[in-house]
Amino acid sequence: MTRTDKDIHSAIPLPTDIGAGPAPTPAEEADVPPIVSRHGSGNETYATLVWRRFRRSTMGMIGLVLVVMLLVVSVFADFFAPMDPKEANLPFAPPDLIAFEDPQGNFSLIPYVYPIGDTGEFDPITFQPLTGAVKDNPTPTGFFVQGHEYRLLWFIPANIHFFGSTDGRPIQLLGTDKFGRDILSRGIIGSRISLMIALAVVTMTTVVGTLVGITSGYIGGAVDAWVQRFVEFVLAFPQLPLYLALTSLIPVTAPSNVFLTFVIFVMAVLGWAQLSREVRSKTLSLARIEYVRAAIAVGASDGRIITRHILPNVLSHIIVAITLAIPTVVLLESFLGFLGFAVKPPLISWGLMLQDTGTFSVIGSYPWILSPVIFVLITVFAFNALGDGLRDAVDPY
């Protein structure tokens, strides 16, 4: 049985637009605008793809802005601190009230600082004296005002501050400690030490952990087995008691720089093992990928394979691990500083400032001395938010 031409043509699938009319001419095709992909061009770099995905993370962008602000404030801490952190005034003075109104009650673009003091009134039930804002003689404030002298970036003499009083009177926006020192200024100055400890410890742990992890995972065999036994030995130590034991070895009369260096060294020695194990696991999986095997087959050196093929693929995980490790070190330094094992005076850190909160009676009477906790919370939230955003953005494919 033969099939007709009509049957043959009907059995051949035709394009869906064949019945819509004649094919467009080349001139008509030239007038059609090109279709632009909303995902951008196909030759974008990995960093561009990561940044595009990271920008869609609201919490990640908030964390990035806060981290940049923290770093800027810590570098130019003397400029942002309104008071001399060593100047003593009234001990345990409550935080001053800042308001955008003049003594007559009118709105003012320039904020005024009203100290908290005795209002002369009494509680009608307990007959205790009431405290409140004293509006008789407020302190005018302003931006870029003159104050105590300092050295910008540790070598440029300056006396201009971002915010402060215009008449030279002290202002305590977060109150004072037991020695009458401004808590806000000490918290800003203390960000240098706290963040410096965190960055130094994380840098050392990242370098050591990455080198050990890549070397162990790439070489394998007996070397990998012995290295992993040593890593397990380090991870088996209870870190907190060991921190306290090692830092107690430093004599009390030792210089602050020596004590600080030893604390950083102890934290780094005990903190690299976990990252090395994570990097090793990724190196083991990457060493079996086709392009790594091809590089080995063509005779590429081990250094080239590690630096050109393995390390770039592990780098995204390392960056995320750094952002998540910094708040851990900040919390650890604050805890050790609270116990007196991290920073010694005259240095200032957030943990050292929290030593004043050692008794419940002090916290109940002067709750504003807990203000350094605010700096710790902001730092931990900022780096955790940044780390979460990076963790979701490092795999844009």
Query: Is pLDDT of 227 > 70?
Result: yes
Ordered domains of the chain (ranges, CATH): 51-78+185-394 (1.10.3720.10), 96-171 (no CATH)
Give me the pLDDT at residue 74, please: 92
Give me the pLDDT at residue 258, please: 81
pTM exceeding 0.95: no
pLDDT band at 69 (very low <50, low <70, confident <90, very high): very high
Report the candidate in 290, 287, 321, 291 with the shortest Cα–Cα distance to residue 214: 287
On the question of a cis peptide bond just before residue 346, with omega within 30 degrees of 0, the verdict is: yes
Section 101-127 average pLDDT: 76
Which residues of the chain form beta strands (DSSP E)?
97-101, 107-114, 116-122, 129-133, 139-152, 156-165
Query: Is pLDDT of 266 > 90?
Result: no
Q: Are the C-beta atoms of 152 and 169 separated by less than 8 Å? A: no
Q: How far is it, in rounded angstroms, from Cα 217 to Cα 281?
A: 7
Give me the pLDDT at residue 342, please: 74
Contacting residues for 387 by C-beta, under 8 A, at least 6 apart: 63, 320, 323, 324
pLDDT band at 380 (very low <50, low <70, confident <90, very high): very high
Q: How far is it, in rounded angstroms, from Cα 115 to Cα 134?
A: 6
What are the angstrom distances between the C-alpha of 201 and each of 169, 213, 331, 336?
39, 18, 13, 14
At 314, list the tokens.
């592990």
More confident residue, 361 or 32: 361
Give me the pLDDT at residue 1, please: 47
Most confident of the following: 19-33, 248-262, 361-375: 361-375
What's the first-to-final CA gap in the chain, in angstroms?
55
> DSSP character for 76?
T
Q: Are the C-beta atoms of 180 and 89 separated by less than 8 Å? A: yes
Q: Taking all residues of the chain, what is their mean pLDDT, rounded to a whole number?
A: 81
Section 18-37 average pLDDT: 50
Which residues of 124-251 form beta strands (DSSP E)?
129-133, 139-152, 156-165
Residue recorded with tokens 């509680």: 123
